[in-house]
């Protein structure tokens, strides 16, 4: 299996730049990854935790999709589940995931039906991941070059010199001096380690890069450098990004489309512009109002009261009801299906709340968390 | 930084805790000639009753070390801490205990700062006994209800019996705050109290701290890397870089009209939702570079290797804090270029009589 895969890749050159994926226009519109009705549960003695429930999400080629949500909202479970990285007790209970990369043909592969051997060639080669904590994701006792070689060796047949050259050009890509190939992870700063992680994710030209809070542990200044580097690399190499973060203000800036998750369900999805200027779902509106803004006049913040629900026994209907200022009895009977937002010009802007429109004012007596001062 | 500006937090009440030229060197290695890292360099500021002072900086800037020095967890290399105008000698056990009674700390990670094998009751009872806040079973029981109600965990009895793993992140941080309040302190040192919490809960905790500040007249030191939250929460903001306070002033002014090039970089780097991708795509490059190095032997301004305005003098001589107005100061030789609008009218670098004397 490995051998067949390798000969297939023989044609590709050693340097990263030479093997840039051409961007065909014909299939530009078909999503590169298509998640349909995906449900994932964690089995536990005292009942299943429904971490992801009936999620539909499509990734346009070459775009950046942002996935926002609090810890425990299921955003990482969704992403890892879609590429089959979860281990028991996590179980995928329903749904389909179709991957349509250029190297696998237009009809695509059903990720959930792949054997382990097939998955091995899919992972990293097609879908790579930048993990949240670079310190824990890198092996502390191996030099940076050895870790990069490992990735390259597993997927591309190359001579030692070619490998070394490719590893060097990968570091060039992310703006790290080649001399650092011989460094151990502890000799690098947090920002550099995160860059090495990005270089490693790009090592064998994946089509999709999943970035799980790639900059959360970093300072704002370094965060900004890395983000602009990610955007630049994406434009140059043409991969697609799934960007997972709890920082909605960051997503608004970097993502093309944003999906907001709450209690394992998508509650709203739309272009970054729509989410920013026309947020529909009360949870999205609450999140947007929770951030102290640095720019512009001081505005009155109105946070979300209460805390996220227990996923083991969710009440029927909308899980946000206990924290929602707009909630009525009717909310306990809705089915959380995403539907186009009424009054929005963009039909791809969908929300799980059928009642609240973007311009609806919050009820006067609503319980919110005011800003300090 | 010298005390020739008035703190924006002083309008709320009298000075409670004062740091005067506190300094901390860490020796890297065991040899006598091993390099020294000055994590905090001659930092001075005051905390005022009912006032909030924010200490903002990147990781490694020394902001947490300041909190550790003020809380007595780390011994200063030199400098002075004054409580109500009296010098405190933290090495004396009796003075240390009296000091801890007044100055309490909240830590960043509510998952690590509570002991998983003990109940909330245990966590809150200990400071009550240690600081002799209450004696006797009945008095302790009523004190417990008081502190847990102060952080709005109701019903109190139910929460007292819980273990940390039964609480959400926000509830844990409330317990940590309650534990700090149990000693009835007048000063609260909050080291990144919201950075580990969920976004939707952060505002609530800040709001709680602000309510407590008003009700209990607490003086708060708010340590954060998020300058936007300092804008909303703190009266005065101090910006720290590589062990130095490089700028100080009223929070709104520091965030809206930053004077020091580092503060400007910090503000420019914050995500800007209104930009919607444009700023990242058009390649508006920020100054690249490593986080500030605090290892001794560096002469001149520690920000100069990353500073777009740096000139020869900046690399040779450490800048002296310069008053911009009554409440603001910045340590930069090139304020006239970096923030021309702020230092016009003879204030700042143009007027040598307003400068401090000698190198800090």
Residue B133: which pLDDT band, with cuts at 50, 70 and 90? confident
Per the CB < 8 A criterion, the answer to whether B53 and B17 are in contact is no
> Which among B204, B232, B271 has the least Cβ separation from residue A249?
B271
B170 touches chain A (CB under 8 A): yes
> Which among B201, B209, B269 has the least Cβ separation from residue A221?
B269
A292·B169 Cβ contact <8 A = no
**Listed range (A17-21, B26-30, B111-115) with the worst mean pLDDT:** A17-21
Let me know if residue B68 belongs to a domain.
yes
Let me know if residue B235 belongs to a domain.
yes
B291·A189 Cβ contact <8 A = yes
> Which among A248, A276, A373 has the least Cβ separation from residue B232?
A373
Domain co-membership, A203 together with A81: yes
Selected for mutation to probe chain A from B199, B222, B281 (highest A CB count within 10 Å) is B199
**Among A255, A287, A312, residue at a domain's last position:** A255
> How far B227 CA lies from chain A's nearest CA (Å)?
8
Give the model's pLDDT for residue A193.
87
Per the CB < 8 A criterion, the answer to whether A100 and A60 are in contact is no
SS (H, E, C) chain A: CHHHHHHHCCCCCCCCHHHCCCCCCCCCCCCCEEEEEEEEEECCCCCCEEEEEEEEEEECCCCEEEEECCCCCCHHHHHHHHCCCCCCCEEEEEEEEEECCHHHCCCCEEHHHCCHHHHHHHECCCEEEECCCHHHHCCCCCCHHHHHHHHHHHHCCCCHHHHHHHHHHHHHHCCCCHHHHHCCHHHCCHHHHHHHHHHHHCCCCCCEEEEECCCCCCCHHHHHHHHHHHHHHHHHHCCEEEEEECCHHHHHHHCCEEEEEECCEEEEEEEHHHHHHCCCCHHHHHHHHHCCCCCCCCCCCEECCCCCCCCCCCCCCCCCHHHCCCCCHHHHHCCCCCEECCCCCCCCCEECCCCCCCCCCCCCCCCCEECCC
Q: Which residue has the higher pLDDT, B299 or A114?
A: A114
> Which among B209, B210, B266 has the least Cβ separation from residue A221?
B266
Chain A residues in contact with B275 by the CB 8 A cut-off are: 253
Chain B residues in contact with A246 by the CB 8 A cut-off are: 198-199
> How far B97 CA lies from chain A's nearest CA (Å)?
32
Give the model's pLDDT for residue B358.
36
Give the model's pLDDT for residue B305.
86
Distance (Å, rounded) from C-alpha B266 to C-alpha B254? 11
A253·B291 Cβ contact <8 A = no
Residue B281: which pLDDT band, with cuts at 50, 70 and 90? low
pLDDT digits (tens, 9 = 90+) for A335-347: 888 888 887 788 8
Chain B residues in contact with A301 by the CB 8 A cut-off are: 203, 232
Domain co-membership, A179 together with A295: no
ipTM, two decimals, is: 0.76
Domains in chain B: how many in total? 1
Residue A332: which pLDDT band, with cuts at 50, 70 and 90? confident
> Which among B255, B281, B286 has the least Cβ separation from residue A294?
B255
Per the CB < 8 A criterion, the answer to whether A60 and A130 are in contact is no
Domain co-membership, A350 together with A210: no
B202 touches chain A (CB under 8 A): yes
**Listed range (A262-271, B113-122, B278-287) with the worst mean pLDDT:** B278-287
**Among A202, A231, A255, residue at a domain's last position:** A255
Per the CB < 8 A criterion, the answer to whether A243 and A80 are in contact is no
Residue A372: which pLDDT band, with cuts at 50, 70 and 90? low
Q: How many CB pairs under 8 A join A and B?
A: 145
Quickly tell me which residue has 């502190």 as its tokens: B147
Per the CB < 8 A criterion, the answer to whether A60 and A31 are in contact is yes
Quickly tell me which residue has 């009525």 as its tokens: A328
Per the CB < 8 A criterion, the answer to whether A371 and A292 are in contact is yes
> Which among A273, A290, A372 has the least Cβ separation from residue B276?
A273
**Position B103 pLDDT exceeds 90:** yes
B158 touches chain A (CB under 8 A): no
DSSP annotation of B88: P
- The whole-number average pLDDT for the span B91-112 is 90
Phi and psi based region of residue B79 (left: phi greater than 0; alpha: psi -120 to 50; beta: remaining): left
> Which among B227, B277, B291 has the least Cβ separation from residue A253?
B277
- The whole-number average pLDDT for the span B338-359 is 54
Chain A residues in contact with B272 by the CB 8 A cut-off are: 249, 253, 294-295
**Position B146 pLDDT exceeds 60:** yes
- The whole-number average pLDDT for the span B253-267 is 92
Q: Which residue has the higher pLDDT, B295 or B96?
A: B96
Quickly tell me which residue has 């240690």 as its tokens: B130
**Position A303 pLDDT exceeds 60:** yes
pLDDT digits (tens, 9 = 90+) for A311-329: 877 888 899 988 888 888 8
DSSP annotation of B166: G
Give the model's pLDDT for residue B275.
67
A253·B281 Cβ contact <8 A = no
Per the CB < 8 A criterion, the answer to whether A243 and A66 are in contact is yes
Domain co-membership, A145 together with A55: yes
B275 touches chain A (CB under 8 A): yes
Quickly tell me which residue has 């089915």 as its tokens: A335
Residue A174: which pLDDT band, with cuts at 50, 70 and 90? confident
Residue A354: which pLDDT band, with cuts at 50, 70 and 90? confident
> How far B265 CA lies from chain A's nearest CA (Å)?
7
- The whole-number average pLDDT for the span B34-63 is 90
DSSP annotation of B288: P
Domain co-membership, A276 together with A178: no
**Position B110 pLDDT exceeds 80:** yes
- The whole-number average pLDDT for the span A89-106 is 86
Domain of B37, in residue numbers: 8-110+187-254
Let me know if residue B175 belongs to a domain.
no
**Listed range (A8-17, A142-151, B156-165) with the worst mean pLDDT:** A8-17
Give the model's pLDDT for residue A369.
59
Q: Pick from A83, A34, A69: which is nearest to A55 by CA? A: A34
Residue B286: which pLDDT band, with cuts at 50, 70 and 90? very low
Chain B residues in contact with A373 by the CB 8 A cut-off are: 210, 232-233
Domain co-membership, A93 together with A242: yes
Give the model's pLDDT for residue A29.
59
**Position A2 pLDDT exceeds 50:** no
Chain A residues in contact with B279 by the CB 8 A cut-off are: 253
Domain co-membership, A81 together with A181: yes
B206 touches chain A (CB under 8 A): yes
| CA pseudo-torsion sign B242, B246, B252, B258 | negative
Per the CB < 8 A criterion, the answer to whether B301 and B262 are in contact is no
Q: Is B184 helix (H, G, I), strand (E, B) or coil?
A: coil
pLDDT digits (tens, 9 = 90+) for A232-258: 888 888 899 999 998 888 899 889 999
**Listed range (A274-278, B42-46, B345-349) with the worst mean pLDDT:** B345-349
Let me know if residue B160 belongs to a domain.
no
B279 touches chain A (CB under 8 A): yes
Residue B69: which pLDDT band, with cuts at 50, 70 and 90? very high
Chain A residues in contact with B291 by the CB 8 A cut-off are: 189, 191, 219, 222
**Chain B residue with Cα closest to A262:** B200
Residue A133: which pLDDT band, with cuts at 50, 70 and 90? confident
Residue B296: which pLDDT band, with cuts at 50, 70 and 90? low
B280·A254 Cβ contact <8 A = yes
Give the model's pLDDT for residue B182.
93
**Among A255, A290, A324, residue at a domain's last position:** A255
B88 touches chain A (CB under 8 A): no
Domain co-membership, A345 together with A199: no
Give the model's pLDDT for residue B357.
36
Domain of A26, in residue numbers: 2-255
**Position A368 pLDDT exceeds 70:** no
**Position B85 pLDDT exceeds 60:** yes
Residues with Cβ within 8 Å of A91's Cβ and at least 6 positions away in sequence, in order, are A40, A41, A42, A43
> Which among A224, A247, A273 has the least Cβ separation from residue B286?
A224
Let me know if residue B64 belongs to a domain.
yes
**Position B91 pLDDT exceeds 90:** no
Give the model's pLDDT for residue B271.
81
B359 touches chain A (CB under 8 A): no
| pLDDT > 90 fraction of chain B, expressed in percent and rounded | 48
CATH number at residue B243: 3.40.50.300
Give the model's pLDDT for residue A22.
46
Q: Which residue has the higher pLDDT, A12 or A55?
A: A55
Q: Do strands B321-323 and A109-110 pair parallel, antiparallel, or not at all (unpaired)?
A: unpaired
| pLDDT > 70 fraction of chain A, expressed in percent and rounded | 88
**Position B2 pLDDT exceeds 60:** no
B286 touches chain A (CB under 8 A): yes
Domains in chain A: how many in total? 2
Domain co-membership, A290 together with A159: no
Let me know if residue B80 belongs to a domain.
yes
Q: Radius of gyration over alpha carbons of chain A, in Å? A: 22
B231·A294 Cβ contact <8 A = yes
Chain A residues in contact with B203 by the CB 8 A cut-off are: 290, 292, 301, 303, 369, 371
> Which among A70, A190, A295 has the least Cβ separation from residue B200?
A70
pLDDT digits (tens, 9 = 90+) for A176-201: 888 888 989 888 877 888 888 988 98
> Which among A223, A250, A290 has the least Cβ separation from residue B200?
A290
Residue B198: which pLDDT band, with cuts at 50, 70 and 90? confident
Chain A residues in contact with B233 by the CB 8 A cut-off are: 292, 372-373
Distance (Å, rounded) from C-alpha B20 to C-alpha A70? 41
Residue B279: which pLDDT band, with cuts at 50, 70 and 90? low
Give the model's pLDDT for residue B330.
94
In the sheet with A109-110, reading across from the earlier edge strand, the strands are A49-59, A33-42, A90-99, A109-110
> How far B204 CA lies from chain A's nearest CA (Å)?
6
**Position A163 pLDDT exceeds 50:** yes
Let me know if residue B204 belongs to a domain.
yes
């Amino acid at each position: 299996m490995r051998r067949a895969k390798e000969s297939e890749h023989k044609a590709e050159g050693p340097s990263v730049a030479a093997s840039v994926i051409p961007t065909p226009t014909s299939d530009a519109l078909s999503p590169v990854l298509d998640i349909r009705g995906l449900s994932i549960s964690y089995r536990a003695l005292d009942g299943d935790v429904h971490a992801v429930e009936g999620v539909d999400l499509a990734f346009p080629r070459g775009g950046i999709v942002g996935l926002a949500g609090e810890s425990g909202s299921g955003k990482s479970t969704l992403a890892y589940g879609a590429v089959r990285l979860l281990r028991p007790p996590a179980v995928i209970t329903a749904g389909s995931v179709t991957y349509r990369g250029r190297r696998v043909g237009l009809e695509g592969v059903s990720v959930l039906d792949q054997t382990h051997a097939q998955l091995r060639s899919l992972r990293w080669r097609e879908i790579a991941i930048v993990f949240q904590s670079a310190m824990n994701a890198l092996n502390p006792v191996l030099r940076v070059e050895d870790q990069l070689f490992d990735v390259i060796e597993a997927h591309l047949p190359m001579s030692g010199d070619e490998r070394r050259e490719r590893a060097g050009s990968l570091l060039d890509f992310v703006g790290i001096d080649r001399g650092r190939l011989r460094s151990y992870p502890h000799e690098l700063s947090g920002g550099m380690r995160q860059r090495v992680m990005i270089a490693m994710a790009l090592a064998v030209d994946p089509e999709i890069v999943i970035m799980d809070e790639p900059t959360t542990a970093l300072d704002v200044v370094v965060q900004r450098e890395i983000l602009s580097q990610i955007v630049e690399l994406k434009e140059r190499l043409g991969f697609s990004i799934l960007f997972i973060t709890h920082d909605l203000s960051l997503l608004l800036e970097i993502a093309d489309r944003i999906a907001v998750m709450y209690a394992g369900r998508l509650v709203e999805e739309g272009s970054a512009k729509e989410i920013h200027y026309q947020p529909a779902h009360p949870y999205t509106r609450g999140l947007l109002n929770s951030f102290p803004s640095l720019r512009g006049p001081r505005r009155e913040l109105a946070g979300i009261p209460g805390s996220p629900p227990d996923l083991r026994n969710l009440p029927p209907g909308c899980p946000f009801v206990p924290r929602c200022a707009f909630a009525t009895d009717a909310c306990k009977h809705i089915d959380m299906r995403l539907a186009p937002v009424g009054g929005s010009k963009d039909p791809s802007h969908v929300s799980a709340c059928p009642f609240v429109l973007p311009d609806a004012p919050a009820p006067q007596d609503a319980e919110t968390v005011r800003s300090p001062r | 930084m010298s005390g020739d500006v008035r703190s924006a937090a002083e309008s709320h009440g009298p000075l409670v805790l004062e740091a005067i030229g506190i300094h901390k060197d860490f020796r890297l290695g065991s040899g006598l000639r091993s390099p020294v890292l000055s994590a905090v360099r001659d930092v001075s500021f005051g905390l005022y009753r009912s006032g909030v002072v924010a200490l903002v900086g990147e990781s490694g800037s020394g902001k947490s070390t300041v909190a550790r020095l003020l809380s007595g967890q780390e011994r200063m290399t030199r400098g002075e801490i004054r409580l109500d105008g009296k010098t405190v000698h933290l090495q004396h056990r009796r003075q240390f205990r009296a000091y801890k009674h007044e100055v309490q700390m909240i830590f960043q990670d509510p998952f690590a700062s509570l002991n998983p094998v003990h109940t909330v009751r245990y966590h809150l009872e200990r400071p009550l006994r240690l600081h002799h806040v209450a004696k006797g079973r009945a008095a302790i029981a009523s004190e417990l209800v008081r502190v847990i109600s102060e952080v709005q965990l109701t019903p109190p009895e139910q929460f007292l019996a819980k273990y940390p793993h039964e609480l959400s992140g926000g509830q844990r941080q409330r317990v940590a705050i309650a534990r700090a309040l149990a000693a009835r302190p007048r000063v609260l040192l909050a080291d990144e109290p919201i950075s580990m919490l969920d976004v939707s809960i952060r505002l609530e905790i800040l709001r709680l701290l602000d309510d407590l500040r008003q009700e209990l007249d607490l003086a708060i030191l708010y340590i954060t890397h998020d300058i936007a939250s300092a804008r909303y929460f703190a009266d005065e903001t101090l910006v720290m870089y590589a062990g130095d306070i490089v700028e100080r002033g009223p929070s709104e002014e520091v965030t809206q009209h930053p004077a020091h090039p580092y503060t400007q970089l910090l503000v420019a780097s914050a995500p800007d939702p209104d930009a919607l991708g444009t700023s990242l795509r058009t390649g508006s490059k920020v100054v690249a570079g490593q986080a500030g190095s605090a290892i001794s032997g560096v002469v001149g301004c520690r920000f100069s290797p990353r500073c777009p305005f740096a000139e020869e003098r900046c690399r040779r001589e450490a800048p002296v804090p310069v008053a911009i107005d009554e409440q603001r100061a910045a340590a930069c030789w090139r304020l006239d270029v970096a923030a021309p609008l702020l230092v016009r009218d003879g204030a700042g670098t143009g007027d040598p009589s307003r400068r401090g004397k000698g190198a800090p």
